[in-house]
Structure 1
Amino acid sequence: MDLLEKCRAYMRADEARDVGLYPYYPTFQGPVEGGQAILDGAEVCMLGSNNYRALSVNPQVIGAAQDAIALYGTSATGSRLLNGNLDLHEELEADLAGFFGYEAALVFATGYMTNLGVVSALAGRGDQVYLDEKAHASLIDGARLAKASGAMMRWFGHNDPDDLARQLAAAPTQSILVATDGVFSMEGDLAPVAELVAVCEEYGATLLVDDAHGVGVFGHGRGVIEQAGMQGRVPLMTLTFSKSLASQGGAVLADAKTVDFLRHTCRPQIFSAGLSPADTAAAHAALREIRRRAGRIPDALAAAEHLRRALDALGYNVAGSASPVIPVRFPDQLAMLSAQRILVDHGVYTNAVLPPACEGYQLRIACTDAHTPGVLEAAIGVFAALREDLLPRYRQVA
Structure 2
Amino acid sequence: MTALLEKFRQLADAREALTQLSQDPFRVTIERILSSTEAIVNGRPMILAGTNNYLGLTFDPQCIEAAVRAVQEQGTGTTGSRMANGSFSGHLALEQELAEFFGRRWCDVFSTGYLANLGVIAALTGPGDVILIDADCHASIYDGCRMSGADVIRFRHNDTADLHKRLRRLGKRCANTLIIVEGLYSMLGDRAALAEVAAAKREYGAYLLVDEAHSLGVLGEHGRGLSEEAGVEQDVDFIVGTFSKSLGATGGFCVSDHPEVDLARYISRPYIFTASPCPSVVASTRVALHKLQTEPELRVRLWDNARRLYDELKGLGFRLGPEPSPIIAARFGQKEETIAFWNGLLDQGVYVNMILPPAAPDGSSLLRCSVSAAHTPDQIDRICQAFASVKFALSS
1:365 aligns with 2:369: yes
- How far apart, CA to CA, are the structure 1 residues paired with 2:386 and 2:286? 37
- How far apart, CA to CA, are the structure 2 residues paired with 1:32 and 1:248? 19
1:104 to 103, 106, 112: 106
Alignment partner, residue 343 of structure 2: 341
Q: Residue 173 of structure 1: SS of its match in structure 2?
A: helix
Alignment of 1:175-194 (within 5 A): 175-194=176-195
- How far apart, CA to CA, are the structure 1 residues paired with 2:258 and 2:125? 18
Alpha-carbon spacing, 1:327–1:93, altered in 2? closer, same or farther (3 Å): same
TM-score, structure 2 as length reference:
0.95
Number of residue-to-residue matches in the alignment = 389
Q: Residue 265 of structure 2: SS of its match in structure 1?
A: helix
What is the CA-CA distance between 1:267 and the residue it aligns to?
0.6
Name the Cα RMSD after superposition: 1.5
Give unpaired runs (5+ residues) of structure 1. Answer: 393-398
- How far apart, CA to CA, are the structure 2 residues paired with 1:251 and 1:53? 19
1:236 to 222, 238, 244: 238
Alignment partner, residue 380 of structure 1: 384
Contact map agreement 1:76 1:275 (CA 8 A) in 2 = yes
Alignment partner, residue 278 of structure 1: 280
Alignment partner, residue 396 of structure 1: none
Contact map agreement 2:131 2:178 (CA 8 A) in 1 = yes
Contact map agreement 2:36 2:58 (CA 8 A) in 1 = no
Per-residue CA deviation, residues 143-166 of structure 1 (Å, 9 max, x unaligned), is: 11123xxx2110011112221111
Alignment partner, residue 165 of structure 2: 166
Q: Residue 201 of structure 2: SS of its match in structure 1?
A: helix
Contact map agreement 1:48 1:351 (CA 8 A) in 2 = yes
What is the CA-CA distance between 1:389 and the residue it aligns to?
3.1
Contact map agreement 2:190 2:321 (CA 8 A) in 1 = no
- Farther off after superposition, 370-379 or 296-305: 296-305
1:94 to 91, 96, 101: 96
- How far apart, CA to CA, are the structure 1 residues paired with 2:358 and 2:260? 32
Per-residue CA deviation, residues 25-62 of structure 1 (Å, 9 max, x unaligned), is: 42112335252221112111111010000000000111
Alignment partner, residue 210 of structure 2: 209
What is the CA-CA distance between 1:210 and the residue it aligns to?
0.4
Alignment of 1:192-341 (within 5 A): 192-219=193-220, 220-255=222-257, 257-294=259-296, 297-341=299-343
Alignment of 1:77-88 (within 5 A): 77-88=79-90
Alignment partner, residue 20 of structure 1: 22
- Farther off after superposition, 229-238 or 86-95: 229-238
What is the CA-CA distance between 1:233 and the residue it aligns to?
1.9
- How far apart, CA to CA, are the structure 2 residues paired with 1:31 and 1:224? 31
Contact map agreement 1:318 1:326 (CA 8 A) in 2 = yes
What is the CA-CA distance between 1:356 and the residue it aligns to?
2.4
Contact map agreement 2:54 2:326 (CA 8 A) in 1 = yes
Q: Residue 378 of structure 2: SS of its match in structure 1?
A: helix
- How far apart, CA to CA, are the structure 1 residues paired with 2:383 and 2:32? 21
Q: Residue 56 of structure 1: SS of its match in structure 2?
A: helix
Per-residue CA deviation, residues 328-372 of structure 1 (Å, 9 max, x unaligned), is: 011111000110001101111111001222121010111000111
Normalized per residue, the structure richer in helix is: 2
Give unpaired runs (5+ residues) of structure 2. Answer: none
What is the CA-CA distance between 1:293 and the residue it aligns to?
1.5
Alignment partner, residue 131 of structure 1: 133
Alignment partner, residue 122 of structure 1: 124
- How far apart, CA to CA, are the structure 2 residues paired with 1:96 and 1:313? 40
Q: Residue 233 of structure 2: SS of its match in structure 1?
A: coil
- How far apart, CA to CA, are the structure 1 residues paired with 2:169 and 2:21? 51
What is the CA-CA distance between 1:141 and the residue it aligns to?
0.6
Contact map agreement 2:123 2:264 (CA 8 A) in 1 = yes
TM-score, structure 1 as length reference:
0.94
Contact map agreement 1:308 1:326 (CA 8 A) in 2 = yes
Structure 1 residue identity aligned to 2:292: I
